[in-house]
Amino acid sequence: MKRFIGSVAALALATSAVAAEQFVVYASRSFVRWGPAAAIEQAFEAAHPGVDLVWVAPAGAAEMLSRLIAELSAGRTDADVFLGITAGSLPRALAEGVFRPFDPDLIPNLAFIPEDLRVDPSNHVLPFDHGYIAFVASPALSEDLLPRSFTDLLRPELGGKIILQDPRTSETGLAFLLWTVAHFGDSWPQYWRALLPNLLTITRGWTEAFAMFEAGEAPLVLSYSTDAAYAYLTVGEAKYRVLTLDGEGYRLIEGLGIVRTTRRADLAHALIDIVLSPEIQELIPTSQWMFPVHSGVALPPDFARLAVVPEHPVFLDPGEVAQHLDDWISQWQAILGN
């Protein structure tokens, strides 16, 4: 079927002849807004003249993945590659058969990716960056209120001062839910109940949460451990404080994969190799504000100095997530109402 994204042809009004072939990447909103999307597009289109790389990113990664799954089950999607999947969603994607296995031989840069970042031994998804979830405080929050532990987050002085993301639609939101499960075990629902009064709101995606935080709507947001580096390198001042809780930070590995139904697996492999290339990986720290996965890429000194690596990284086993996620989400939804 001819692709006619974005054209009025959707209404079958004839203008379906698009000059360039379109190659469609579904990604998280944050990656296209912040990450090296433009550089990837440029490198890709330079290497493949006549192909137009189209980003589709109207929502957070988790929501985009749900949509891709729905489209695949309906038998039609425009996506060729999906970018932004994390370990929390990986089991679901694998179970739904979203991705086709990639061929390692077609991705030379794969050789530079450390084994411990390769979360999917079945070779459907590869990592392109990684980092840690943390709480980030703005200067509006006084020093003595800075939360250093899960318990600190419950202080009544923080009432209505925290912005979280919805684990049903956002990868960071999902990561925080998994983090509380990892930290508290079966008693995580009690913690969430106690936390609710301190939340300003729970947003659909990270992008709006962080924008609200930057606009001063609340002084605390669930974000990334690199945000002090971000503030320093963009406005020249490390105005944001990164807060690990009890020394912990949930580890987030973002990956990408080739959509099962693509007709251009060759282009998909080429795109993945570009994303993993040193040229793009070098841009990851100061655009996506994550750690690169390419072992040959050095971190910018200021980034290395200010990006926080938690003492105790937390990471829930994907098998366990696969088994319980549905149940956890149901419980989480039930807590919301209280």
Residues interacting with another protein, by CB under 8 A?
A: 4-13, 24, 27, 29, 32-33, 37, 54-59, 62-63, 65-67, 69-71, 73-75, 78, 89, 92, 160, 166-169, 174, 196, 199-205, 207-208, 211-212, 215-218, 325-326, 329-330, 333-334, 336-337
CA–CA gap between residue 10 and residue 31 (Å, rounded): 27
Q: How far is the CB of 321 from another protein (least distance, A)?
A: 11
Q: How far is the CB of 288 from another protein (least distance, A)?
A: 15
CA–CA gap between residue 301 and residue 140 (Å, rounded): 27
Nearer to another protein, 61 or 253 (CB): 61
Q: How far is the CB of 262 from another protein (least distance, A)?
A: 15
CA–CA gap between residue 248 and residue 259 (Å, rounded): 34
Nearer to another protein, 1 or 116 (CB): 1
CB 241 within 8 A of CB 148: no
Nearer to another protein, 94 or 218 (CB): 218
CA–CA gap between residue 206 and residue 222 (Å, rounded): 8
Q: How far is the CB of 313 from another protein (least distance, A)?
A: 23
The DSSP symbol for 245 reads: B
CA-closest candidate to residue 250, choices 309, 323, 203, 304? 309
Radius of gyration of the chain (CA): 20
CA–CA gap between residue 184 and residue 181 (Å, rounded): 5
Query: At a CB cut-off of 8 Å and minimum separation 6, what does 110 contact?
Result: 104, 126, 273, 276
Nearer to another protein, 5 or 47 (CB): 5
Q: How far is the CB of 332 from another protein (least distance, A)?
A: 9
Nearer to another protein, 276 or 325 (CB): 325
CB 240 within 8 A of CB 146: no
Q: How far is the CB of 163 from another protein (least distance, A)?
A: 9
Q: How far is the CB of 49 from another protein (least distance, A)?
A: 18
Nearer to another protein, 89 or 223 (CB): 89
User: Which alpha helices (DSSP H) does the chain contain, by range?
Assistant: 29-34, 37-47, 61-73, 90-95, 171-184, 188-195, 206-214, 227-235, 265-275, 278-281, 301-306, 318-336
Q: At what angle do helices 206-214 and 171-184 cross, to 10 degrees?
A: 90
Nearer to another protein, 132 or 192 (CB): 192
Angle ∠(149,141,154) on CA atoms, nearest 5 = 35
Nearer to another protein, 50 or 301 (CB): 50
Q: How far is the CB of 207 from another protein (least distance, A)?
A: 5
